Amino acid sequence: MNNVLDMICELEQIALQPKKSVLKAMTETRKQAIGCFPIYAPEELVYAAGFLPIGMWGGSKTGTLSDKYLQSFCCSIMKANTEQALSGTYDFLSGVILTAYCDTMKCIMENWKIASPQLRLIPMVYPQNRKTAAGICFMEEELLRVKGELEKIKGSEITEEALEEAVDLYDEYRSVMQRFTAEASKHPAIFNAKRRHLIIKAAYFMDKKVYTEKIKAILECLKEITPEKTAHKRVILTGLLAEPVEFLEILEENGFFVAADDLAQESRQFNVIAPKEGRWMNRMAKRIAMRDGCAFLYDQEKTRGDKLLELKKQYNAEAVIFCQLKFCDPDEFDYPIIKKQLEKADVPLLHVEIEQQMESAGQVRTRIQSFAEILG
């Protein structure tokens, strides 16, 4: 038990100290780093180029520098990322891949060119009709263009062999993480809401190969630990992310255990694996085409509610908590549809508005306490 707790603690500290962890990884691997905006940045290309892909998911840092470039109603991830770029926090990066999924992200690309000219920006657009032949072709062409931009930064060509190896490595990472989340659901005493989140988040600040090996080691240790039963209320989290950690601590205080999640920052990163057939860019394009149930990708059938019901059944959960990041329009559009689907299935649902820079958690605490009482 002590061995697995030591490994878990190491990953927790990596997630809690992002910049320190990244600089350490850069030293150990002798690699430069490329920042990757949410949600589905092509990390495989970055890795194949010999860089460390670093997740840029905002943070708790607040300030007023970003006010010059962003409206007051922008989400906290974009505010925090822009604030950190303007303050020089990201100056150690060799480049930044900016993806476009919402109106704010589409506009921020041009803002950053003026606000942070020291950062080499690589914009990337994803097709909405990503399942059609034309959509897959467009996705492949975008991947090739981004590959070319990374080659300019690298100063040499990215080989086909390196690209295929990177896609295989990331598929292994996704497979291992699927096993991890399944096993974590059996050990509520070890993997509380905060700890589970931090372990998954640590992957954004490490070499994926090193991270994957550490998760494998944790899984090996878990084979010797008997799954425990608990009186905790098992819930499914859905949304863009479930931060800050104070929010997760409130869940723990009120007896909630995260049995599984449908969070863009967490399980949506690894619950779809690329097909084995085809060239690297075709595999990556098809993986995006297979990605359903996400508010940031066009989903005509609106399958997110069905997927949540499947997760509830699979992990024997009692309820769903919708983590609504303030001012996140795509998730706001999804919520009424999900609410109707879950109400029809008689599944308890709590909608909680969160922000990474929460000044007061009083309102959130009250809502979670009330929900806990309703569930009994």
Q: Tell me the C-alpha distance between 20 and 17, whole Å.
A: 6
Band (pLDDT 50/70/90 cuts) for residue 367 is very high
Lowest mean pLDDT among 196-200, 217-221, 231-235: 231-235
Q: Is the pLDDT of residue 330 over 90?
A: yes
Q: Show the CA angle centred on residue 97, arms to residues 115 and 326, nearest 5°.
A: 70
Q: What digits encode the pLDDT tens for the residues 54-79? A: 999 998 877 788 888 888 888 889 99
Is the distance from CB of 361 to CB of 250 less than 8 angstroms?
yes
Contacts of 312 (CB under 8 A, 6+ apart): 236, 320, 347
H or E element that contains 256 = strand 256-263
Q: What digits encode the pLDDT tens for the residues 298-311? A: 988 899 999 999 99
Residue of 207, 208, 202 lying closest to 14 (CA atoms):
202
Across 19-43, average pLDDT: 97
Determine what percent of the chain is predicted with pLDDT higher than 90. 84
Token pair for residue 99?
């993806």
Lowest mean pLDDT among 61-65, 93-97, 159-163: 61-65
H or E element that contains 138 = helix 133-154
Average pLDDT score, the chain: 94
Is the distance from CB of 286 to CB of 279 less than 8 angstroms?
no
Residue 46, pLDDT score: 98
Q: Is the pLDDT of residue 104 over 70?
A: yes
Residue type at position 287: R
Band (pLDDT 50/70/90 cuts) for residue 171 is very high
Contacts of 169 (CB under 8 A, 6+ apart): 44, 47, 208, 209, 212
- List strands edge to edge, sheet with 95-100: 52-55, 33-36, 95-100, 121-125
Lowest mean pLDDT among 95-109, 125-139, 193-207: 95-109
**Alpha-carbon separation of residue 293 from 7, 252, 263, 334, 353 (angstroms):** 33, 27, 11, 10, 20
Q: What digits encode the pLDDT tens for the residues 264-323? A: 999 999 999 989 999 999 999 999 999 999 999 998 889 999 999 999 999 999 999 999
Q: What digits encode the pLDDT tens for the residues 107-157? A: 888 888 888 889 999 999 999 899 999 999 999 999 999 999 999 999 999
Across 49-58, average pLDDT: 97
Band (pLDDT 50/70/90 cuts) for residue 101 is confident
Is the distance from CB of 224 to CB of 341 less than 8 angstroms?
no
Token pair for residue 192?
């509380």
Residue 363, pLDDT score: 87
Residue of 208, 94, 99, 205 lying closest to 151 (CA atoms):
94
Contacts of 193 (CB under 8 A, 6+ apart): 242, 248, 249, 251, 252, 256, 257, 258
Record the pTM.
0.96
Residue type at position 137: C
Q: Tell me the C-alpha distance between 311 and 238, whole Å.
A: 11
Residue 1, pLDDT score: 63
**Alpha-carbon separation of residue 246 from 55, 119, 240 (angstroms):** 21, 32, 16
Q: Is the pLDDT of residue 175 over 80?
A: yes
Q: Tell me the C-alpha distance between 72 and 53, whole Å.
A: 29
